[in-house]
Amino acid sequence: MADISNNFVGIKSPNPFWLASAPPTDKQYNVERAFKAGWGGVVWKTLGEEGPPVVNVNGPRYGAIWGADRRLLGLNNIELITDRDLFVNLREIKEVKRNWPDRAVIVSIMVPCDEQAWKKILPLVEETEADGIELNFGCPHGMSERGMGSAVGQVPEYIEMVARWCKANTRMPVIVKLTPNITDIRYPARAAKAGGADAVSLINTISSITSVNLDTFSPEPSIDGKGSHGGYCGPAVKPIALNMVAEIARDPETAGLPISGIGGVTTWRDAAEFIALGAGNVQVCTAAMTYGFKIVEEMIAGLEAWMDSKGHRTLDDITGRATGNVTDWQYLNLNYVTKANIDQDLCIKCGRCHIACEDTSHQAITHMVDGARRFEVIEEECVGCNLCVNVCPVEGCITMEPLKAGSLDKRTGKKVKKDYGNWTEHPNNPSRIAAE
Amino acid sequence: MASKPGIIQDGISAGRLSRKEIDRNFFDLHPPLDHHEALVAADRCYFCHDAPCMTACPTSIDIPMFIRQIATGNVKGSAKTIFDQNILGGMCARVCPTETLCEQVCVRETAEGKPVKIGELQRYATDHAMHQGIQFYKRAKASGKKIAVVGAGPAGLACAHRLAMHGHAVTLLEGRKKPGGLNEFGIAAYKTVDGFAQAEVDYVTAIGGIDIQYGKKLGQQIHLADLAQKYDAVFLGMGLSGVNALGLKGKEPDGVEDAVDFIAELRQAKDKSKIPVGRRVVVIGGGMTAIDCAIQAKLLGAEDVTICYRRGQEQMNASEYEQELATSKGVTIRHWLQPAKLRSKGGRITGIELEYTRLAKGKLEGTGEKLKLEADQVFRAIGQKLTPKHLNGSGAGITLEKGRIKVDGEGRTSMKGVWAGGDCTNSGEDLTVTAVAQGRDAAESIHRALSA
């Protein structure tokens, strides 16, 4: 049986599934329900400075997009940090940690970019005996207008500065939560590392408008006819998050910096993918907000079953296993040639592959063969682009088959080369590295 | 459940079940999809290229497009997509044997044995437009041409609507006192509830330029030769008025009836519990009429209903779905049996003798072996036929083929200026949707001829 217990920057939890800092982790009541359901840890919803708590809007806080049968694909929110009194939160955190010593309790913090503010709150958090802190440099809405959240995360110098203050003022591990609302995620990650952060966590939510009400012309969610961009999360953001995790994991400057992966983790499979790309664990929010805390059972059982089936014994066996396979486009093997193949037994003859290829790509799939409705790949035209695979509604019906070295690529009329060859040495590349 | 004295009473009688039970039995076969159900059902459509469903539809409705319009919230536009091809799309959504047309060839039927609910989605869209009284079509400028359309059934209505669109003045001549044809008189009550057929006629004729006259039966009150003379063109869409006989010797006793009359009577009844039905009912035939008759006899409270068909299950004209519907309602379907003799007592039917049949060298023959079934009501549902003498007055003008009016690809008969469509012709299947397609296409042909 695989052992999925997690050690993330010295913080131990029975499994790598943490609840992200968000509405589900705002109170002792919710967090204890989560622990009862089996979650390995929580990042407590972001605490702000002592004083009158922030206020939230009193209208809708969430917007969404849906897929078939109203399956929630993406959620956005304009909720701010905790709107409960700081000391109520601290008392509850302490009590939860005492009640659940084997679970990870991390406290998310967001206070102004002023060392005194951090110096003031850090001892209070430390006193709860929480396992670590996460610096919220990510929230793109509301707090960013007040110079916090993503407003900090978008300036690497601030990240480095605040991380350094925290490291200097607490013994707790410091995780820096990054905003994806930047052009290159590597810079804030490098800054966090430079500031001495123990880890980064990403992604926070993406600035977004989920929809526009076409009757009122108000963005959604609508507060009295007006909307403000919210933070986007859920299954729709996973590909963006995976890439950002991979970028940090494979950046020589940050390689080895622990990463807590966040962004659309909905199933054990999503979690395994984040971990394979270099995350030490994952944080979940939208899936729990959609289905409740029980989903962690599926995540735990699924991850264990997959690890068992592959012979992976611990999370260390899988962490970062895919990182080395992420490379720059210029290093991809141009001598790798694939052709689409349509399994006629599985084909249900919907014709989507044909029309996609015919209208928008390479005219490489038939519609009729000998007067009958039949969809076949025309190898002379197929560039192996995979669009047909992606639009086919039947899984496994269309596959991309690599041509064997030495066989003829009917499109180019050339034999498939055995050797690896990439753009850097391609004759068409004006700045190629000449092999003279 | 308490025993039902009404059910086990011999003979033909009304009130075998309470009105409440009967009303429940005759409730809408497929209650309409609600908004969410429609979205879920629409989402299953793959928007196929050159979609097989569209090819299978006799009226060639752009099915993937109307479903996509439902999915994207343009339900009104969806209805227009349907009505553009089939102005009786509302009825077709209810009565089409979709399981042998669009839904049979749906790629999700191929993939999972569960087609997209095309019929129910079509109903969702057309109901939306009809409930709101949205009219999509206007008459073109008056052409000054007058056209007689005989029969206010699906073929005649479709033809009249399309002619009216082109600005022609249509006189719609109907033999009965009510329009709708088989939509009103020939379809099981549970398939089209709440007076839908009449509502649809009103919706179709609201375009204007269609003058409906009732009590005008061809060969009786009106004659083809007169019509051909008085009008610029004539469209015949009067369906089939004759019922095939069982072909047995001797006088038929009481209790042997035409299924089509029974179906019509049920459709017109305000209180179905007043419709008499036998305790033991035998229906002879294998088509939709046999099924509609048998199921409704059962729903009225007949204890035992048996359909006897002279060939095998595969040859039945009723779709597999309809057969299953019948058996699920408690109807017994027996095959390879043909009527041999009616048994009676005091002039009333008491039973029927059937002979087993088989195919010998492709020909159906009796085996000599007999089966006796008790029956106090026997329905003939072995097909309808054209009564050629109704076409009298036309001289030798109209050519028939296999007992029906011969038409070409555009619906032209052999007589100049006379078109025909629907069941009275020799082309296509006897379906509402086919009749609509033929009426519509004949109207286009007439319009071309008159515009030339």
Nearest to B53 by CA among A181, A433, A373: A373
The answer to whether B46 faces chain A, any CB pair under 8 Å, is yes
The answer to whether A385 faces chain B, any CB pair under 8 Å, is no
The answer to whether A348 faces chain B, any CB pair under 8 Å, is yes
- What is the nearest CA distance from A163 to chain B, expressed in angstroms? 48
- What is the nearest CA distance from A367 to chain B, expressed in angstroms? 9
Residue pair B136/B82 in contact by the 8 Å Cβ criterion: no
The answer to whether B36 faces chain A, any CB pair under 8 Å, is yes
Whole-number Cα distances in Å, B223 to A32, B219, B229: 87, 5, 10
Buried b or exposed e, range B298-323, using 16+ CB within 10 angstroms: bbbbbbbbbbbbbbeeeebbbbeebb
Inter-chain residue contact A68 with B51, CB threshold 8 Å: no
Pairwise CA distance, residues A251 & A256, whole Å: 9
Token match 């926070």: residue? A204
Pairwise CA distance, residues B160 & B276, whole Å: 37
Inter-chain residue contact B108 with A348, CB threshold 8 Å: yes
Per-residue confidence (pLDDT) for residue B250, from 0 to 100: 82
At B70 the three-state DSSP class reads: helix
**Contacts across the A-B interface (CB distance below 8 Å):** 36
Is the pLDDT confidence value at B387 over 90? no
- What is the nearest CA distance from B321 to chain A, expressed in angstroms? 22
Residues from chain B contacting residue A69 (CB–CB below 8 Å) = 40, 43
Pairing verdict, β A259-262 and A199-202: parallel
The answer to whether B367 faces chain A, any CB pair under 8 Å, is no
Burial of B132 (0-12, 13-18, 19+ CB in 10 A): exposed
Token match 């850097």: residue? A424
Q: Supply the DSSP symbol for B313.
A: G
**Mean pLDDT, to the nearest integer, of A248-266?**
97
User: Please, which residues bridge with residue A219 across strands?
Assistant: A212
- What is the nearest CA distance from A372 to chain B, expressed in angstroms? 12
Is the pLDDT confidence value at B3 over 80? no
Pairwise CA distance, residues B406 & B43, whole Å: 43
Q: B350: which 2 tokens?
A: 């008491």
Per-residue confidence (pLDDT) for residue B393, from 0 to 100: 55
Inter-chain residue contact A355 with B107, CB threshold 8 Å: no
- The least confident of B57-61, B146-150, B187-191, B212-216 is B187-191
At A256 the three-state DSSP class reads: coil
- What is the nearest CA distance from A348 to chain B, expressed in angstroms? 5
Pairwise CA distance, residues B406 & B306, whole Å: 36
Per-residue confidence (pLDDT) for residue A221, from 0 to 100: 93
Pairwise CA distance, residues B91 & B85, whole Å: 13
Pairwise CA distance, residues B240 & B234, whole Å: 18
Helices (H) and strands (E) in chain B, counts: 17, 19
Per-residue confidence (pLDDT) for residue B27, from 0 to 100: 86
pLDDT tier for residue A140 given thresholds of 50, 70 and 90: confident
Burial of A157 (0-12, 13-18, 19+ CB in 10 A): exposed
pLDDT tier for residue A121 given thresholds of 50, 70 and 90: very high
Q: Please give the biggest Cα pair distance in chain B.
A: 71
Per-residue confidence (pLDDT) for residue A70, from 0 to 100: 87
pLDDT tier for residue B140 given thresholds of 50, 70 and 90: very high
The answer to whether B34 faces chain A, any CB pair under 8 Å, is no
Burial of A370 (0-12, 13-18, 19+ CB in 10 A): exposed
Q: Please give the biggest Cα pair distance in chain A.
A: 80
Is the pLDDT confidence value at B201 over 80? yes
Residue pair B228/B259 in contact by the 8 Å Cβ criterion: no
Which of B63, B107, B116 to mutate: most A Cβ within 10 Å?
Answer: B107
pLDDT tier for residue B318 given thresholds of 50, 70 and 90: very high
Domains and CATH numbers, chain B: 19-27+243-384 (3.50.50.60), 35-132 (1.10.1060.10), 146-241+386-451 (3.50.50.60)
Give pairs for A272-276: CB < 8 Å, separation 24+: A272/A303, A272/A306, A272/A318, A273/A242, A273/A322, A274/A241, A274/A242, A274/A245, A275/A16, A275/A315, A275/A318, A275/A319, A276/A318, A276/A319, A276/A320, A276/A321, A276/A322, A276/A323
Catalytic residue among A113, A139, A347, A385: A139
Inter-chain residue contact A352 with B47, CB threshold 8 Å: yes
The answer to whether B43 faces chain A, any CB pair under 8 Å, is yes
- Comparing CB atoms, the residue among A69, A70, A348 nearest residue B111 is A348
Pairing verdict, β A72-77 and A62-66: antiparallel
The residue of chain B nearest to residue A392, with distances taken between CA atoms, is: B46
The answer to whether B113 faces chain A, any CB pair under 8 Å, is no
The answer to whether B49 faces chain A, any CB pair under 8 Å, is yes
- Comparing CB atoms, the residue among A70, A350, A367 nearest residue B46 is A350
**Mean pLDDT, to the nearest integer, of B432-448?**
98
Pairwise CA distance, residues B147 & B236, whole Å: 11
Residues from chain A contacting residue B43 (CB–CB below 8 Å) = 68-69
pLDDT tier for residue B11 given thresholds of 50, 70 and 90: confident
Pairwise CA distance, residues A217 & A211, whole Å: 10
Is the pLDDT confidence value at B58 over 90? yes
Inter-chain residue contact A373 with B36, CB threshold 8 Å: no
Nearest to B362 by CA among B297, B315, B396: B315
Inter-chain residue contact B50 with A70, CB threshold 8 Å: no
Torsion of CA B46, B48, B53, B58, to 10 degrees: 140
Residues from chain B contacting residue A367 (CB–CB below 8 Å) = 49-50
The answer to whether A394 faces chain B, any CB pair under 8 Å, is yes
**Mean pLDDT, to the nearest integer, of A173-181?**
97
Inter-chain residue contact A351 with B51, CB threshold 8 Å: yes
- What is the nearest CA distance from A78 to chain B, expressed in angstroms? 27
Inter-chain residue contact A351 with B49, CB threshold 8 Å: yes
The DSSP-derived string for A217-245 is TEEES-BTTB---EEEESGGGHHHHHHHH
Torsion of CA A357, A363, A369, A370, to 10 degrees: 150
Which of B33, B34, B43, B50 to mutate: most A Cβ within 10 Å?
Answer: B50
Distant-in-sequence, close-in-space partners of B89: CB < 8 Å, separation ≥ 6: B59, B61, B79, B82, B83, B122, B126
pLDDT tier for residue B261 given thresholds of 50, 70 and 90: very high
Residues from chain B contacting residue A369 (CB–CB below 8 Å) = none
The residue of chain A nearest to residue B42, with distances taken between CA atoms, is: A68
Interface of A with B in 59-88 (CB under 8 A): 68-70
pLDDT digits (tens, 9 = 90+) for A383-427: 999 999 999 999 999 999 999 999 999 999 999 999 999 999 999
- Comparing CB atoms, the residue among A68, A348, A367 nearest residue B107 is A348
**Count of other CB atoms within 10 angstroms of residue A276:** 20
User: Please, which residues bridge with residue A74 across strands?
Assistant: A65
Distant-in-sequence, close-in-space partners of A265: CB < 8 Å, separation ≥ 6: A238, A271, A274, A282, A283, A284, A287
Pairwise CA distance, residues B32 & A403, whole Å: 52
**Mean pLDDT, to the nearest integer, of B229-252?**
92
Q: Mapped to the 3 state alphabet, what secondary structure does B208-233 carry? A: CCEEEECCCCECCCECHHHHHHHCCE
Per-residue confidence (pLDDT) for residue A367, from 0 to 100: 97
CB hemisphere CA count around B153 (13 angstroms): 31
The DSSP-derived string for B122-162 is HHHHHHHHHHTT-----PPSP---EEEEE--SHHHHHHHHH
ipTM of the complex, rounded to two decimals: 0.82
pLDDT digits (tens, 9 = 90+) for B158-195: 999 999 999 999 999 999 999 999 999 999 999 988 89
The answer to whether A97 faces chain B, any CB pair under 8 Å, is no
Whole-number Cα distances in Å, A101 to A130, A174, B236, B331, B433: 10, 19, 87, 68, 71
Residues from chain A contacting residue B107 (CB–CB below 8 Å) = 348-350
Residue pair B278/B12 in contact by the 8 Å Cβ criterion: yes
Please calculate the CA angle A384-A386-A432 and round it to the nearest 5 degrees. Answer: 55
pLDDT digits (tens, 9 = 90+) for A182-209: 999 999 999 999 999 999 999 999 999 9
Inter-chain residue contact B49 with A352, CB threshold 8 Å: yes
CB hemisphere CA count around A394 (13 angstroms): 23
Residues from chain A contacting residue B52 (CB–CB below 8 Å) = 349, 373
- What is the nearest CA distance from B73 to chain A, expressed in angstroms? 12
The answer to whether B55 faces chain A, any CB pair under 8 Å, is no
Torsion of CA B223, B229, B231, B232, to 10 degrees: 130
Express as a percent the part of chain B with pLDDT over 90: 85
A139 included as an active-site residue: yes
**Mean pLDDT, to the nearest integer, of B345-364?**
94
**Count of other CB atoms within 10 angstroms of residue A294:** 10
**H or E element, residue A342:** strand A338-342
**Mean pLDDT, to the nearest integer, of A368-387?**
97
Express as a percent the part of chain B with pLDDT over 70: 98
**Mean pLDDT, to the nearest integer, of B131-156?**
97
pLDDT tier for residue A69 given thresholds of 50, 70 and 90: confident
Mean pLDDT of chain B: 94
Inter-chain residue contact A350 with B48, CB threshold 8 Å: yes
Per-residue confidence (pLDDT) for residue A434, from 0 to 100: 61
Q: Supply the DSSP symbol for B416.
A: T
**ω into A140 cis (within 30 of 0):** no
- Comparing CB atoms, the residue among A349, A354, A367 nearest residue B107 is A349
Whole-number Cα distances in Å, B306 to B98, B326, B330, B374, B375: 25, 10, 9, 10, 9
**Mean pLDDT, to the nearest integer, of B202-229?**
95
Q: B220: which 2 tokens?
A: 């009786």
Interface of A with B in 399-428 (CB under 8 A): none
Is the pLDDT confidence value at A321 over 50? yes
Burial of A57 (0-12, 13-18, 19+ CB in 10 A): middle
Pairwise CA distance, residues B115 & B48, whole Å: 13
